[in-house]
Structure 1
Amino acid sequence: MDLIEIKDHKSTVRHIIHLLHNLFIGFHKSTFFCFFLFLSLFRKCFLPDTVPRTSRRSCNDNYRTIFTQHKDYLKKQVENIRERVLNPDSQKPHGSIDTTLYITEGEYKAVDVEHGVAQVEVRGSEDTQINYNDIFNPLPGQNGPIRAVLTKGAPGIGKTVLVQRFISDWADGKANQDIDVVILLPLRLLNRIKREISLQQLLSQLYPSLQEWVNSVKLEDYQILFIFFALDECNLPLNFEQNRKLSDISQKASVDTLVTSLIMGSLVPNARIWITSRHVASDQIPPEVIDKVTEVRGFTDVQKEEYFKRHISDEGLAERIISHIKASRSIQAMCRLPVFCWIAATVLQQMEFSDEIPTTLTEMFIHFLLIQTTSRHKYQGDNKSAKQDTLEAQKHNILKLAELAFKQLNEGNLMFSHNDLKQCGLDKTEALVYSGLCTATLKGQAAIFGEMYTFVQITIQEFLAALYIFVSYVKEDTEALRPLLMKKSSMQKIPRKHPSLEELLRCAVNSALESKSGHLDLFVRFLHGMAMESNQKVLRVLLACQQDNPRYISNPDCLKRAAQNLKDIKRKDISPDRWINLLYCLVEIHDTTVHQEVQAFMHSETGALKRLKPAHCSALASTLMMAAMPMDEFDLKKYKTSDEGRRRLVPAVRSCKKALLADCRLTAKSCEIVASALKAPRSLLRELDMSHNNMQDSGVKHLSSGLRNSNCKLETLRLSACGITGKGCELLASALTANPAHLKELDLSSNHLKEAQLRTLQSIKENPESALEILR
């Protein structure tokens, strides 16, 4: 019996039940009540929500046609992924150009710095690798369906490919056929809707083929998947607490309210939700609304090699490229990003293997820019002078694209209009055809937005933005630098005249640290890379300066001062993870002293460094988290450093079983990092001592979010003399009630607790389901 016959059969049964209902309508009220109760139970057990849903669909063949049209439309949007290497018009089906991505349930327990370009390797672990079509399947031991899934990953790691493959397989009927309609909602697109709009209107305008269906049915009668793509590109406030909760798809509201209502489940409550995001932006989503977290980790070492062998037809060249990548730890780590593999394959195929082979991120992107620009135009021979002549001819367009990249990045925009192009002196032919770095997008949704544009990958926008600032510095265009120099931070020292290179880099770092989303982190890394003399020589045509002009070629002393500035910055409001990311600016200027000193410190019994500086602590935390084996004990007090240094070491708790953090002057910010360790899948922490730290109730709030998480297996928690009041005690009690099976010992002595809160904790201890044995 096929699906349609099953639906018709259920519809017939439903009509028979209604007939029996009418036959017994004259029965005594009590008899009727008993029968009606039986009838309700029968319908609930044997004819669940599919009854009205399937009957509506089976009665109207137009909807089936509409769904087919919608699938065809989505499929056309995702079935081809352009590899804009030499010919931007060349297309290959996605299955032929990408190897399988490594996807796991839960987050990587080692820190994943925001842009995914740090030296963090994907190592074998206990994490469960899953198929992208199974992300809505419950975890082992998890009861009930999965409604909302959050998928994290670094930029370029493969989140886009993941979504494209999922949609393509669904549209082809290969997987997830219980889903009736998939609605893709790129958040960079939703940013541009400023007026109030209803969900009904939004769907009708974004997907005109669905308009008749949206306006004729109850969406709750269908299984819908809303994909909120790229949360990190969202400029909406996402005010989950204060936004009203919509329940009517025809009710107009701000786009922010529509998004939060859908994610929270008040609007179309039975819909599935899939959110993709960079790590740093994912905290905007309340954890209680997410049923499952997955992470895209890109390529393993084996998959990296497979990628290059499949993309480079010359086997000998492929092997040489793979050997070069293995020889550079930095490039090898970056190649876990599929987008970087694409860039590396593009660059290394075009270069002769010599001492000039790129070894840093900036070097790789500079050569990628040259290849993308010069290879799009015919010239005789393959000599450097011909390429430089071609680059000179395209200089205007490249610099205008760079201006566009910075202005849009500085405003948090990753999508721009034709008017934005015109303001930078570009038309769409120059932007799209000449460079190969920018592409038109959303053509099918022109009715609501008009034609929109975006860079082929966000990392390219960040690189070009850095190029614009560096060229403006060389030209002494202080006005162009003003948006970077005039940030609000009290730490910012605005130069009165044209800044020195050292001052420019310091201002850029401060600007990046002000950003909560981390959208300038990689921009700053590229900007440091451009301070290298070798990179300036390659870019001399764009920089409009002579190779032998010492005014614009940074000298070693300048780079030493820039490196020292990175090591000496002191700001208490910055996450330790951000500091770890910032340290990779040192890689771009070939300064390895911090990591060398840390390695010496770890391998010396007496300690080569008598006192660790904050920069050393950031590097040490990164090293400890990347260790092959987790630490049995991490004692923060044994490291001789400042209070700031200790705060930067806290992320190492993610890779230890016992964390001794007592009396280290930690704050609520540190508690947030510890909570992330408690939430991590297969969390290692079993004993945690944070006594005698002035964390107060705000810190307890973070810890409680970790304690209530089902991944938390903490057995001992000591919070003596932490300034906790009754409010903090209530938060802890709530967390222990939600997750009572693991914590055996809790020390809350020397805090400001009242009798009522103590009785609450005592009642939790006496609960048979609670593991709590010792309560102080």
Structure 2
Amino acid sequence: MTLAGTPEPCLHNLRVCRVSLVDKLEFHIDSLIDVLITKEVLTRDDQEEIQYEKGPRKKVRKVLDILEGKGEEAARIFISASRYLEASNVKTGDQSSNQSSEYQKIIAKHKAVLKHRSECMLYYNTRHGEKIPFCEHYVNLLIVKGHYNLEIKRHEVLTFGQQRISLQHKATEQRLIKPSQLFSSKTGKNPAKKILVTGVAGIGKTVLVQKILYDFSNHKEHQSFDFIIHLTFRDLNLVSKPVSLRELILRKNGHLAKHLDTITENDAKLLIILDGFDEFKHYRACDVDIFLTDLDEKGEVVEVVSSLMLGELLTGASVLITSRPMAVSHIPIQSIDCFVVITGFSTVEIHDFFQHFFQDEELANKMFNIVVANELLLTLCYIPAFCHIVCSILKESNGLYQSNPRTMTDIYVQYLLALVKSHTNDRIESLKNVKHQEHLQEILLNLGRLAYQKLMNQETLFYISNDEIARCVIASTFMDKTSVQEPSYTEDVYSFTHLTIQEFFAALYCAMADVPLSETLGSGSEYSIESLPGNLDLFMRFLSGLLSERSQELLCKNIGFQKQKDKMQCFRLKLVSDTQASCEKGGYLLTQLHCIFEQQDVLLMQELKLQSLRINLSDVTLSTMDYNAVKHFLNEVHLTISEVDLTGTNINAESLRDLESYLLRCERIWLGENSLDLEAIKVVADILQASDILKELGLGWTDIGDEHLSVLTNALKVKQTLKELWMEGNRITFAGLSPLRVFTPSPLERVVAIWNNVTDDEGERLNSLCSEPCFTVSFTEDSMWTDWANWVLQRCEVSSSEKLVTILYKVCDISVCRLESQWAKSFYISLTKLIKARIEQCLEEDVRQKLEKFEKILST
């Protein structure tokens, strides 16, 4: 008797089919229980009750007994899940017409291997021998189809904030992607073959990979594949000689050796996961000219990886790549079918995580309430890895120290102290013994030196020659060990439990070791906070926080470190100098603002002697933490803001409202390249109505139309201070622009509406109705474009080479390139000279190559 097609109520059907259900479900009852927990049909208490039953048949009967009290909907979900698992079991267990029994056996063997590897959650700092079942502790992540910008800032550890909130508010059901739907038609018209999954540090990319492996090996999801091969870039970093794809696969999948040819011949049923592209030592070099096409063809590891991503090697295989956004611009984007963003936990899932972590509802709620009361902690907890760190601090310190954390560094220092105390309590008497303190300092600085050296070489997986570190209990608290199979032997390799932990320890070494900052960060023109590579952003924030009076006191009191007064003063002077230069020249400012925020020092703010204030935050998706740093700075600096540039920051109505009081102090506001809805434009209108000093407003490429412009036009009537309105690349028409005539030529001296739905004839008509021509709907010889070109050049001059590349992608991609206007010719001649000068100075090969390409474009 089957369940299919019956018109009877589901609960009644379960009672009638009870005997046959026990026979059918005993072989995959554990998988079925996992599914029912995920779908919230069964609770954790139900699961514990079921586990007491001895044998699979008794477990099935227990589940059916529990379902009696769950209602009709629960029975329906149970029946649906049972059918799915039955079908999966038939698919993977029976011999099909076109597959041999031997092939089915190797599929089963491979799934068993993956199940063993993925069944336990890879928590940070899990005690030795402690196993936490993945199915019990996996918390859902918000995964969204879409991709904002391939030229994203280099380090993005807190980018999640505003982006995540914005996506949750705006996302439709069609945009939300479940892990099980990644390779289905849900991601597009056809199932995607090449998927890029991005997300900031700690957001759950590797946990998502573990979820895919877990579901596949337990016959739950992704059953359209026969095999999934999981390769990590951490492991690939250890390959230093030419290698074939066969060798790479077999390094950790030796059980596939006899059947690999058969598996790869049927590559349409193969998924290859490349996890952690940003950790790849050679990620900047993936723009290769040499491709491999054969399984046994040897090449450099970067050539093998690039050939896989581009589909030159195993052309029919599906490939999933995970990466932090800062490395995405180096992936061969032309090969990607679907972009997916992981945006972390929701508030509900943070609460869920606390329940799983503390395993005590009352204690979990108490700790969760502590976090909710601290905006910084709550913001961090949207990132799963940081959520775990916060929980660890709360657990080890039984709450928080007397002074609640206010910065990232505060949290990591507390994490360090809590875990050191936990692991040394029985061995070091309250850490007061001088000899023990000195030994502890030596261990921490050795760890820091290792972290620093590897960070500068972009290494996250490494061998340790110092046996003392490898054996040290405290070191093992912050490091993971794994075994790697080399051709003739097995060797242990190490990594910090999370890349942010490595960045923290690297900063700890630079801050506390008896080594001048000039030896670690360089000196003179080589050491500049504003021009350091973007992948060192978080390292610099940690360094700034560790060189603050607050952190120095804590480390001195609890670990016995000596205060580094000279370093503190040296760093402060450089931070003040760089911040002053950026504020006055209009250079990119966010890194300095975060360093100032980490210091939390009013006296530092008083040392800033600013003559003018320009705030450039452009081309970075701003997070809640970014806004906190900006507001902290502007709360202490009370000057008029001559310019704020929020171009390409993914700002929305909520963020604009949060910044409104500061924007009222601005003379020029640039909001271009953000998708601004009507609510956001209403905030801009409120600023126009209230500001006495706003003279220029930029809204280019913000997807606004006549309805948005109407709101702004009405707002202009109130204060009438705005002189220039830039609205390039939008949906505005002649009808939308016409009401602005009443404000020209006073106060509006210039309305720029090129690349809108306005013809040149309509532009001339608008100007003919004004006493002076104020409307610009196409490029001209007018001096205004000379002014614009000079503004862009000035912005290029104060940008780092990395930032310059981002600007050039925009500037060199417009039709101005083809203009014969004298201002355009002069502009591109000056820009070419600037690029040539930067090429000579540039130390980073990949950035230099991009600059050379732009030089070639402008020279043709």
**TM-score normalized with structure 1 length:** 0.65
Aligned position for 1:493: 525
Matches within 5 A, 1:409-448: 409-417=455-463, 421-422=464-465, 426-430=468-472, 434-443=475-484
Contact kept in structure 2, 1:198 and 1:253, CA below 8 Å = yes
1:62 to 86, 98, 102: 102
SS at match of 2:314: coil
SS at match of 2:132: strand
Matches within 5 A, 1:199-598: 199-215=245-261, 218-236=264-282, 242-351=288-397, 352-353=399-400, 355-379=402-426, 392-417=438-463, 421-422=464-465, 426-430=468-472, 434-443=475-484, 450-472=491-513, 475=514, 477-478=515-516, 482-485=519-522, 492-493=524-525, 507=527, 509-510=529-530, 513-515=531-533, 518-540=534-556, 545=561, 551=565, 554=568, 559=572, 562-563=575-576, 565-566=578-579, 568-569=581-582, 579-580=589-590, 582-590=592-600
More helix by share: 2
Aligned position for 2:779: 720
Contact kept in structure 2, 1:205 and 1:447, CA below 8 Å = no
What displacement does 1:281 show?
0.8
Contact kept in structure 2, 1:720 and 1:748, CA below 8 Å = no
Query: Could you give the per-residue CA deviations for residues 267-302 of structure 1, whole angstroms, max 9, x where no partner exists?
Result: 111100101011111111233211111111111122
Query: Could you give the per-residue CA deviations for residues 539-588 of structure 1, whole angstroms, max 9, x where no partner exists?
Result: 11687555xx6846957x975873563353379998x5xx4355322221
Query: Could you give the per-residue CA deviations for residues 670-721 of structure 1, whole angstroms, max 9, x where no partner exists?
Result: x9x999x89xxxxxxxx99559xxxxxxxxxxxxxxxxxxxxxx97597736
Contact kept in structure 1, 2:264 and 2:270, CA below 8 Å = no
Is 1:116–2:116 an aligned residue pair? no
Contact kept in structure 1, 2:447 and 2:475, CA below 8 Å = no
SS at match of 2:177: coil
Q: Distance in 2 between matches of 1:286 and 1:197?
A: 21
Q: 1:588 to 1:241 in 2, by over 3 A?
A: closer
What displacement does 1:378 show?
4.1
Query: Could you give the per-residue CA deviations for residues 356-389 of structure 1, whole angstroms, max 9, x where no partner exists?
Result: 23222111111111222221234399x9656998
Q: Distance in 2 between matches of 1:541 and 1:581?
A: 29
1:75 to 88, 96, 115: 115
1:96 to 118, 129, 136: 136
Contact kept in structure 1, 2:115 and 2:217, CA below 8 Å = yes
Is 1:627–2:654 an aligned residue pair? yes
Contact kept in structure 1, 2:578 and 2:592, CA below 8 Å = no
What displacement does 1:459 show?
0.7
Amino acid aligned to 2:365: E
Q: Distance in 2 between matches of 1:126 and 1:242?
A: 38
Is 1:136–2:183 an aligned residue pair? yes
Aligned position for 1:752: 819
Contact kept in structure 2, 1:625 and 1:652, CA below 8 Å = no
Q: Which structure exhibits the higher relative contact order, with contacts defined as CA atoms closer than 8 Å and separated by 6 or more residues?
A: 1
The alignment-based identity, stated in percent, is: 22
Q: Distance in 2 between matches of 1:388 and 1:82?
A: 36
2:170 to 122, 126, 139: 126
What displacement does 1:458 show?
0.7
Q: Distance in 1 between matches of 2:653 and 2:462?
A: 39
Matches within 5 A, 1:545-694: 545=561, 551=565, 554=568, 559=572, 562-563=575-576, 565-566=578-579, 568-569=581-582, 579-580=589-590, 582-590=592-600, 609-612=639-642, 617=645, 624-625=651-652, 627=654, 640=667, 649=670, 653-655=674-676, 689-690=727-728
Contact kept in structure 2, 1:109 and 1:654, CA below 8 Å = no
Deviates more, 1:100-109 or 1:342-351: 100-109
Query: Could you give the per-residue CA deviations for residues 143-175 of structure 1, whole angstroms, max 9, x where no partner exists?
Result: 333111111100101111100011110011101
Aligned position for 1:160: 206
Q: 1:139 to 1:639 in 2, by over 3 A?
A: farther
What displacement does 1:176 show?
0.9
Amino acid aligned to 1:519: N
Q: Distance in 2 between matches of 1:151 and 1:601?
A: 34
What displacement does 1:67 show?
2.6
**TM-score normalized with structure 2 length:** 0.59
SS at match of 1:569: helix
Contact kept in structure 1, 2:555 and 2:561, CA below 8 Å = no
SS at match of 1:169: helix
Query: Could you give the per-residue CA deviations for residues 400-431 of structure 1, whole angstroms, max 9, x where no partner exists?
Result: 111111100011000101xxx22x5745212x
SS at match of 2:296: coil
Q: Distance in 1 between matches of 2:520 and 2:584?
A: 22
Q: 1:380 to 1:212 in 2, by over 3 A?
A: closer
Q: Aligned residues, how many?
A: 586
SS at match of 1:154: coil
Q: What do you get for the CA RMSD once the two structures are aligned?
A: 4.7
Q: 1:655 to 1:152 in 2, by over 3 A?
A: farther
Contact kept in structure 2, 1:688 and 1:716, CA below 8 Å = no
Unmatched 5+ stretches in structure 1:
2-53, 487-491, 495-506, 661-670, 679-686, 692-713, 724-745, 755-776
SS at match of 1:280: helix
Amino acid aligned to 2:271: L
SS at match of 1:519: helix
Amino acid aligned to 1:186: T
Q: Distance in 1 between matches of 2:427 and 2:241?
A: 54
Q: 1:747 to 1:416 in 2, by over 3 A?
A: closer
Q: Distance in 2 between matches of 1:73 and 1:651?
A: 51
Deviates more, 1:211-220 or 1:397-406: 211-220
SS at match of 2:424: coil
